[in-house]
Amino acid sequence: MRKHSNSLHLTVFDFIDRIKTWKWGKAMILYPAIDLKDGACVRLYKGEMDQATVFNLDPTKQAQSFIDQGCNWLHLVDLNGAFAGKPVNAKPVEDILRTCNVPTQLGGGIRDIATIEHWLEHGLQRIILGTVAVENPPLVRAAAKLFPNHIAVGIDARNGKVATRGWAKETEVNATDLARQFEDVGVTAIIYTDINRDGAMTGPNVEATAALAHAVSIPVIASGGVSSINDLKALKDCGAPLNGAISGRALYDGEVGIADAIALLKAP
């Protein structure tokens, strides 16, 4: 189990990151995505479970490889968990937390305080809440208050409308309206995914991401569609101070070199 003091220590770095972003508006984090399905590391096409490409049967090795290439954060998703509404791929997540000593965020199937507490005790730095942000916003507020700097909201949208429960459920909730609900409650980041771009290698939705980042003061992380270094450059130059970008397929396919991506994103 990872020591909790590590989380506190990293919180100071989070704070420094925020000041840097506020001051220079540019430094961004590359979050390599490790999406877990049936214990393996996969990428889906637009979130469809039956359109999965398996990239590594050993998620811990994949995570370590990202770290060895210079990544200093990991983005994990328990895909089965997002559909089931409870953790399913706990074992690979625990293995990664035990082995890999970089801050890690996890989403998928986390729907109550006990599960949040469990994962923070196991050394996760940041918990991503998606479905409950729509279905139970008071829970998000309570969690952000109980665990300051550890709660992120995942907003996954198709044509601007939020989808939940593994993206299988469409809602009429507007992504920006949802984000605004969590202003000033201590949410540390919003992870905005354009579902139609996710795993599609067609470029991120830069305009929607920038618009969201302008609409709220919570740091926004862009997700979905990154297919080239130019896409990352577009996010960096989008005019809004983004906290970072999540990339999956482009890193696995080698379309984006990790060292190049990190150098680009962290440059002032």
Task: Give the per-residue contact string, 90-119, with ligand AMZ (x = CB under 6 A; - = no).
Answer: -----------------xxxx---------
The upper half-sphere exposure of residue 183, i.e. CA atoms within 13 Å in the direction of its Cβ, equals 12
Token pair 């990154």: residue: 226
Nearest to 31 by CA among 70, 82, 88, 2: 70
Q: Which is nearer to ligand AMZ, 156 or 231 (CB)?
A: 156
Candidate list 36, 82, 93, 124; residue touching ligand AMZ; CB under 6 A? 82
Tokens of 16: 């420094």
The two counts, helices (H) then strands (E), for the chain are 12, 12
| Residue 167 found at the interface with ligand AMZ (CB under 6 A) | yes
Q: How many CB atoms lie within 10 A of CB 91?
A: 12
Give 47 or 264: the residue with its C-beta nearer to ligand AMZ: 47
The verdict on 131 binding ligand AMZ (CB under 6 A) reads yes
The whole-angstrom distance between residue 157's C-alpha and the CA centroid of its chain comes to 14
Strand partners, 44: 52
Closest approach, Cβ 268 to ligand AMZ, in A, equals 29
Work out which of 166, 204, 219, 225 binds ligand AMZ, going by CB under 6 A. 166
Measured from the CB atom, is 104 or 193 closer to ligand AMZ? 193
Q: Give me the residues that bind ligand AMZ (CB under 6 A), please.
A: 44, 47, 77, 79, 82, 107-110, 128-131, 154, 156, 164, 166-167, 193
